[in-house]
Amino acid sequence: MGTITRTFANNITTSGVFKPTAFNNASFDNVSSLSSATIEGGSVVLLSTQTASASASISFTSGIDSTYKEYMFIFNDIHPQTDGALLTFNLSTDGGSSYNVTKTTSAFRTYQYETNALNYEVAYQTGSDLAQSSSYQSLGTSNLGADNDQSFVGVFYLFNPSSTTYVKHFLSDVNLSTDDDRTVRAFVAGYGNTTSAINAIDFKCNSGNIDAGTIQMFGIL
């Protein structure tokens, strides 16, 4: 048995699976090229960036189509005009002429006060969910703070919006500074109960404008 054969045999299990020891810097350094058919990988494509400036809402009314199966929206330092506002969203099947898709959602959060007060929690938020409602859905589950240094950040995912077979699932993971000086991490998930294609989305505060910040829309292959 040659050296190469013995080395190969020592690094594979009896079931034909490579052991972790089969891979090291030297083994990867010897790879000169990879066929395009060898591996698969997704890509994230920036489609649009919108910047708020005392904006009543931020809407994405183009670019949501069958090109991508998943869309990702990133919130960068969203700052409300009004202390105590909630950042919300709704979906559209008519290009943004109306935002009234029926939704069922769930929401929970974790939080802690700046003062380290002993009333932190990890809890389901019954007041932040929807049950077959076309209302705007809150993303933060808590009131935003409007101090100069307070903001809202996070990510929102919309899955297969162009399907005409299935309901439209979404989920979000955000963090925010609240009007009572907490840091809140909030999780919201649910579905738009429609088999019509979703082709627009609207983000707005339930009170006052979005004073500043950006929202980026990405398509994920």
What is the number of structural domains in the chain?
1
What is the average per-residue pLDDT within 72-99?
Answer: 98
Share of the chain above pLDDT 70, in %: 81
Q: How far apart are CA 32 and CA 51, in angstroms?
A: 44
Q: Which is more confidently placed, 119 or 104? A: 104
What is the average per-residue pLDDT within 87-116?
Answer: 96
Give pTM, 2 decimals.
Answer: 0.81
- Under the banding of pLDDT at 50, 70 and 90, the label for residue 116 is confident
- From 182, 120, 115, 111, select the one nearest 145 (Cα to Cα): 182
- Under the banding of pLDDT at 50, 70 and 90, the label for residue 17 is low
Task: Indicate if the pLDDT at residue 74 is higher than 90.
Answer: yes
Q: How far apart are CA 127 and CA 135, in angstroms?
A: 13
Q: How far apart are CA 120 and CA 11, in angstroms?
A: 50
CATH of the domain at 100: 2.60.120
Tell me if 136 is assigned to some domain. yes
Sheet containing 58-60, strands listed edge to edge, beginning at the edge strand earlier in sequence: 58-60, 200-205, 87-92, 137-138
Task: Indicate if the pLDDT at residue 164 is higher than 80.
Answer: yes
Tell me if 129 is assigned to some domain. yes
Tell me if 147 is assigned to some domain. yes
Could you report the per-residue pLDDT of 122-153, keeping only the tens digit for each? 999 999 999 999 999 999 999 999 999 999 99
Give me the pLDDT at residue 5, please.
53
What is the average per-residue pLDDT within 54-79?
Answer: 98
Is residue 142 within 8 A of residue 174, CB to CB? The reply is no
Tell me if 169 is assigned to some domain. yes
Tell me if 165 is assigned to some domain. yes
* H/E segment holding residue 168: strand 168-177
Could you report the per-residue pLDDT of 34-56, keeping only the tens digit for each? 554 444 456 999 999 999 999 99
Task: Indicate if the pLDDT at residue 198 is higher than 60.
Answer: yes
* Domain extent at residue 52: 44-220
| Beta-ladder partners of 75 | 154, 215
- Under the banding of pLDDT at 50, 70 and 90, the label for residue 102 is very high
